[in-house]
Copies of this chain bind each other. A is one copy, B any other.
């Protein structure tokens, strides 16, 4: 048996901001016949994650200066893998049966052929939440927020916390984790609508629209007259430079992403390194997968907070594989509030 699998690919490497013309929607014939001894699992994709970091995988990997490549490169014309939720269509493995709901490494397409060893987990049927939550708040966005904030920043109640891209997939969770700990939380984002959302819906203590500020250092000085103890950075660039100038002694900066720099390296900014010395600032990068060892803690706390109403998760869901390119491009234009997800098919 065979199905038509519609999927997204890039036509060539993308080295600046992504545009619609960089992508194509392709259709392939996909066999649903799996040999009885095969460990392959065929999944029908339901919700797939749309994340800014994918742009780094789409770049030409010719950079000779760095000793690592930015995760596995995406090959033009090929399927693009992504975290997502789906339903098992075909499996001869004892651990996955037809009809099982799963989360793991799927694709920007309608179906995924999941090879042995690739990330795939059965969903816990006792979790009475929308399926899309497994892409966002229970997925790597949530884990990045939780691990980056608690594990890297080691925050204490009462500390002053700044979050950039604060209404984004990760930022909006970080701010609420920080509030739940008893921190003072200020977010920055790119529109008045988002600022209102942070303050009125999510309970941030303050927020500002960076596009309306002439001087980011002054903006942060105004919001943090006593300085910043923890900065959860999602943007890099000038905001990181401004934050370093406003950090307190023994403060921590965790860098989760640098979306302002992904599509334009000229936006990099030079922090005052003297500040890092005199204020003993710790700056640290991380990847969400580093926190798999604390996944169980993360999940139980997050479920509890959602049930208690301490945590609200926001999702911005587009419909269908055809919407994936514009959903992805929109990330770099600040189109989304909360986690950007594409719903590929009905459950």
* A positions within 8 Å CB-CB of B: 56, 65-68, 70-71, 217-218, 221, 226-227, 236-237, 240, 245-246, 248-249, 255-258, 261-262, 265, 268-287, 290
Contact A281 B276 (CB under 8 A): no
Distance between Cα atoms of A218 and B268 in the complex (Å): 21
User: Which B residues lie within 8 Å of A279 (CB)?
Assistant: 68, 285
Indicate the member of A67, A217, A278 with the most B CB atoms within 10 Å. A67
Q: Nearest-CB distance from A46 to chain B (Å)?
A: 29
Identical copies of this chain, number: 2
Contact B280 A283 (CB under 8 A): no
What 7 A-B pairs have minimum CB-CB distances, sorted nearest first? A268-B270, A277-B285, A276-B285, A283-B283, A236-B273, A270-B270, A258-B273
Q: A272-B265, A284-B282, A284-B283 are in contact. Are A277 and B249 (CB under 8 A)?
A: no
Q: A270-B269, A283-B284, A284-B283 are in contact. Are A258 and B245 (CB under 8 A)?
A: no
Task: Pick the contact of A274: B56, B246, B269, B278 (CB < 8 A).
Answer: B56
Q: A65-B245, A68-B249, A270-B268 are in contact. Are A287 and B277 (CB under 8 A)?
A: yes
Contact A277 B272 (CB under 8 A): no
Further 9 A-B residue pairs, CB within 8 A, beyond A66-B245, A258-B273, A283-B284? A68-B249, A68-B278, A237-B273, A255-B273, A255-B277, A258-B274, A261-B272, A270-B270, A277-B287
User: Which B residues lie within 8 Å of A237 (CB)?
Assistant: 273
Q: A248-B67, A274-B258 are in contact. Are A282 and B280 (CB under 8 A)?
A: no
Contact B281 A284 (CB under 8 A): yes
Contact A65 B221 (CB under 8 A): yes
User: Which B residues lie within 8 Å of A274 (CB)?
Assistant: 56, 70, 236, 258, 261-262
Q: Nearest-CB distance from A115 to chain B (Å)?
A: 24
Contact A255 B276 (CB under 8 A): yes
Of chain B, the residue at the smallest CB distance from A249 is B68
User: Which B residues lie within 8 Å of A256 (CB)?
Assistant: 277
Task: Pick the contact of A278: B71, B246, B269 (CB < 8 A).
Answer: B71
